[in-house]
Amino acid sequence: MSAPTPGGTIEIAGKTVSRLGFGTMRLTGPGTWGDPVDRDLALTVLRRAVHDFGITHIDTADAYGPHTVEHLIKDALHPYPEHLLIATKVGLARPAPSVWVPHGHPVYLRACVEASLRRLNVDRLDLCYLHRVDPEVPLADQLGTLVELHDEGKIEHIGLSKITPEDFLRARKQVRIAAVQNVLNINNRYDPVMELCRDETIPFVPYRPLDAGSAAPGGNVTTPLSWLLARGPHIAPIPGTSDPEHLTALVQAADGDIGA
């Protein structure tokens, strides 16, 4: 008997996946830097998310660690189930713990994609996001690099992260946007990009859905996740945790009443 699908289903990047995804940023050391304190526990959380709870949308980035989490995903889940969507992101350099620097030079983006392919041990990235728009590089050049990699068969679908409506409209003229990641939670309730995605039937993937815990006082994750899922069928939040019990609570919350 297969595991249930938390939060129902949504189509992202050509795959029908659970609306509740799993964000992997917390599976690192402090400052999103280096290895987790307990590597075996991190592997267990990943396996439980997929194999026990039926989460089929795993979100990561080369910047997490950097590189740490992509290795963990491969070690925990490879060979990957065919129905599993692994999304990664490129375009943020990590010079130090808790430091994130947009880096959208085409040579750098290409190198990041090639390295992610090796770390995840895949021939093609299911979904690759531009992690941040680098203001020092024309957006058309950043997207153009991802389009070239798509045409070369190294990226299946292209997404965008932390973008403005203006970014969305400019990008829409150049690429087919498979998904958008922006902040949305009960503390940050409005993002016009969410409405643009709704109008064009593009999945909107809220990161920080619990606002680093402040949207879930007392550990109550049901209210913030229910609120998000009720915003529309194009919403697919990606909460993260390194704690198996917290993972269980997230799945139970997503399977609750989302009609309110």
Structural contact between residues 238 and 57, judged by C-beta atoms closer than 8 angstroms: yes
Q: What is the pTM of this model?
A: 0.95
Query: Identity (one letter) of the amino acid at 195?
Result: E
Out of 64, 80, 108, 190, the active site residue is: 64
Which fold would CATH assign to domain 9-254? Answer: TIM Barrel (3.20.20)
Structural contact between residues 227 and 188, judged by C-beta atoms closer than 8 angstroms: no
Token pair 């400019």 is at which residue?
A: 170
- pLDDT tens digits, 117-154: 999 999 999 999 999 999 999 999 999 999 999 999 99
- pLDDT tens digits, 159-215: 999 999 999 999 999 999 999 999 999 999 999 999 999 999 999 999 999 998 888
Give the strand pairing for 85-90 and 15-18.
Answer: unpaired
Nearest to 43 by CA among 253, 209, 244: 244
Q: Where are the domains of the chain?
A: 9-254
The two structure tokens encoding residue 246: 């917290």
Say how far apart CA 252 and CA 140 lie, in whole Å.
42
Is 64 an annotated catalytic residue? yes
- pLDDT tens digits, 74-83: 999 999 999 9
- State the Cα angle at 21 between 227 and 32, rounded to 5°: 105
